[in-house]
A and B are shown apart, each in its own frame.
Chain A
Amino acid sequence: MKRNIRANFIWLFIMVFGFVAIDAMEFTGIVNTFMENAFVTVGINIILAMGLNLIIGFTGQFSLGHAGFMAIGAYATGIMLQTMDSPIGFWLSVAVGVVIAIIAAIIIGVPTLRLRGDYLAIATMGASEIIRVVINNLKITNGPAGLFNIPQYATWPVVYVVMCITIIMIANFVHSRAGRAVMSVREDDIAAEAMGINTTKWKLAAFVFGAATAAVGGSLHASYIQTISPSEFGIMNSIAILIIVVLGGAGSLTGTVVAAVVLGIIDTVLQNFGTLRMVIYALALILLMVFKPGGLLGRWELSFKHVGKKGARAE
């Protein structure tokens, strides 16, 4: 018990320290808009990839539809902030996005989660494309032109705090009875059922949870970038998030954070390479995967449970 509290305090300390550090750098001007942009993008990517990692890495369900749920959150915020231009409006829009995403995830998940492996991937990708096409043809979403001049409530502190909350929530989910249940589904669903685990329910739970975080990420993205359009939520965007998950190590939350940061750095640095940017990125991606097939961290997790207690065996 004490050990847990100590570990939690270390985590809290790290998060607060990160905040203060960034704040100090902003204040002294070490971090300019450009770097802030990079930070925030990494933060939002972490939120998105955490949710996807829960679905893919922990539950073993191959979803390629993350961008669709992200779009739901983004448009909820984009649309609601047109008339409710206030912080309350923003948070309300986040909540609405999450609720709609959850409903969509249930509608999509209940039938499709029966599918396996790549069949599920294609079905979720299809569902996400359907969402995108619908958004592309609706009036309220302003069609392909998308929405712009969205007020910026998602400033970096907001993104940072939401990112921390997302990490905590997903980590807490994973390190609990629920997490063990979804992992058993990943490992062997037949055995899981035989052990009394309702695999359908747990798959859906993870899928819905992941979708909700995607919606949150979408809301933040919309309000930070202040512009959204349907083309941002296509298959390639789902893949971009998938890359973070796999590169970090499917099944490692720490890995997701590391991969998002690494990719953020690569992306930022490559901005200096003009036309060659994507060529180098592609090569980097291939090489990283060939030399680190399990992802950067495999399934390793950073943990502070052993800190300060000699010989303690945590579980």
Chain B
Amino acid sequence: STAANSSKKGNTASGNTIKIGVNMELSGAVAGYGEQQKQGIELAVSQINSKGGIKVDGKKYKIKAIYRDNKSTTSGSASVAAQLVNNDKVQAVVGPATTNDSTAAIPNVTKANVASVSPSATDDGYTLDKNGKVQKYVFRSCFDNSYQGQTAAKFVTNTLKGKKVAIIADNSSDYGTGLAKAFKKQFSGAIVSTQYFQEGDKDFNAMLTAIKNKGFDAIYAPGYYSEVGLIVKQARQIGIKTPIIGSDGMADPKLAQIAGNANANDIYYTTPFSTKSADTDTTVKSFMDAFQDKFGTEAPTFSALAYDSVYMVKAAIEKAKSVNSEDIAVAMAKIKNMKGATGTMTVDAKHNPEKPIAIEQMNGGKVEKAITVK
């Protein structure tokens, strides 16, 4: 911080720009997800600026996003975080995408008193320190694993009336395994088999053949669209017809493309962001349209979550009436009923967004309906 306001902690915007640092996986193993998030951020930033920016104490600020690549590594993330908060002097950080990269950034943003919002760090413990106390500067715009996994379990029991489930989970990050764990904890029926796959796997025939005759009513497949799409495809091709339930990592238009429309039947996934709700929700609709305009494709969940992360920063600034990062962090914890593309959210005591969760049902490659779950 500069000498002028050295009494104050954190970074304060100078001139009439508010800087938002983006600590993102733009290369490396999960660059695909980082790229989608970057698009959401770009959209949010350009929208906000074209509407005149953010007004604080009567002064209008434009926002500027500074994108830095953490190479999908923890040390890259720690370094990028440090550069953003110390050298670029940003007022808030958005990102990184994965839990591990996000936790690696915590010490450095904390030291600099800058809030960071991860669009997709889903591990339950992400916002907490090791004593279970909430981390003051750490936020997210996505659900934690427990909430989503438990919701899926409830849905299988209550709505699908499933008694036996086979789980196929992504084993390369906390996401798949965390969801699977939460699901198992909540689910009252039997788990007939739990299988794991790795990010980038393409062949699931062996696994599916192995579980095919285990007599399950549904498959729970927490993971990302790139692999789950293939699971759906290959499952249907070898004749597994049971419902396949997944998580928000599946909520991507590419899911049906990869699975093939003909195969994408009886698919359900938990998601904060329902393309269906565009019919009723103007915020969602405007996001969807703007995204389609700007990038020529339907908006994926990752983009929506990142988009909302930027809006969380905006909301916090407006609430704090300050362009100081410390103030922004304090205000962010108090966000209430912020309308976002992924629903109307309130930041709870653990810095998790409380927002309604939806379950989308896909048939023939199309989302048929969205079921809101409490």
Contacts and interface: CB of A to CB of B under 8 A. Distances in A.
Nearest to B67: A274
B71 A227 contact: no
B29 interface: yes
Contact of B26 (A33, A232, A272, A277): A277
A201 B308 CA distance: 60
A228 interface: yes
A144 B28 CA distance: 17
Contacts of B99: 145, 148
A231 B69 contact: no
Nearest to B130: A149
A268 B106 contact: no
A227 B104 contact: yes
Contacts of A143: 171, 174, 177
A37 B108 contact: yes
B79 A271 contact: yes
Interface stretch (B45-53, B80-88, B235-243, B290-298): B80-88
A294 interface: no
A136 B86 CA distance: 34
A158 to B, nearest CB: 15
B172 A148 contact: no
A278 B106 contact: no
A38 interface: yes
B68 interface: yes
A37 B79 contact: yes
Given A225-B75, A226-B103, A278 B178 contact: no
Contact of A145 (B27, B80, B106, B177): B177
Given A231-B29, A274-B69, A275-B27, A225 B74 contact: yes
A221 interface: yes
B71 A229 contact: no
Nearest to B88: A34
B299 to A, nearest CB: 20
Interface string A133-160: 0001100000111101101100000000
B173 A34 contact: no
Given A32-B87, A232-B74, A278-B71, A145 B79 contact: no
Nearest to A268: B79
Nearest to B100: A229
A36 B108 CA distance: 11
A32 B86 contact: yes
Contacts of B83: 34, 271
Given A33-B112, A37-B79, A41-B75, A231 B100 contact: yes
Contact of B104 (A33, A34, A136, A225): A225
B252 interface: no
Interface in B27-48: 27-29
Contacts of B108: 33, 37
Interface in B53-112: 67-69, 71, 73-75, 78-80, 82-83, 85-87, 99-100, 103-104, 106-108, 111-112
Interface in B13-27: 26-27
Given A41-B75, A145-B99, A228-B74, A34 B86 contact: yes
B22 to A, nearest CB: 9
A45 B174 CA distance: 26
B129 interface: yes
B78 A37 contact: yes
Nearest to A234: B29
Interface in B172-220: 172-174, 176-178
B253 interface: no
Contacts, number: 110
Contact of B106 (A144, A146, A226): A226
A231 B172 contact: yes
Given A33-B112, A225-B74, A274-B68, A148 B79 contact: no
A278 B69 contact: yes
Contacts of B260: none
Summarize B's interface: helix, strand, loop or mixed. helix
Summarize A's interface: helix, strand, loop or mixed. helix
B172 A144 contact: yes
Contact of B68 (A32, A148, A271): A271
B103 A148 contact: yes
B100 A221 contact: no
Interface in A253-280: 268, 271-275, 277-278
B212 to A, nearest CB: 24
Nearest to A33: B82
Contacts of B71: 277-278
Nearest to B173: A144
B123 interface: yes
Chain A CB count within 10 A is highest, among B74, B111, B176, for B74
Contacts of B74: 225, 227-229, 232
Contacts of B73: 232
Nearest to B131: A149
B99 to A, nearest CB: 7
B266 to A, nearest CB: 28
A43 B175 CA distance: 32
A232 B178 CA distance: 18
B356 interface: no
Chain A CB count within 10 A is highest, among B78, B85, B106, for B78
Contacts of A152: 107
Interface in A217-239: 221, 225-229, 231-232
Given A34-B87, A41-B75, A275-B26, A227 B103 contact: yes
A34 B176 CA distance: 32
Contact of B28 (A228, A271, A278): A278
Contact of B69 (A145, A221, A271): A271
B173 A278 contact: no
B173 A145 contact: yes
Given A145-B100, A225-B104, 7 more contacts: A34-B82, A144-B171, A145-B177, A228-B74, A268-B79, A274-B69, A278-B27
30 contacts: A32-B82, A33-B108, A34-B83, A34-B87, A36-B82, A37-B108, A41-B79, A144-B171, A144-B177, A145-B174, A148-B126, A149-B103, A149-B125, A151-B130, A152-B107, A225-B75, A225-B104, A228-B100, A229-B74, A231-B173, A232-B73, A232-B100, A271-B68, A271-B80, A274-B68, A275-B67, A277-B27, A277-B69, A278-B27, A278-B28
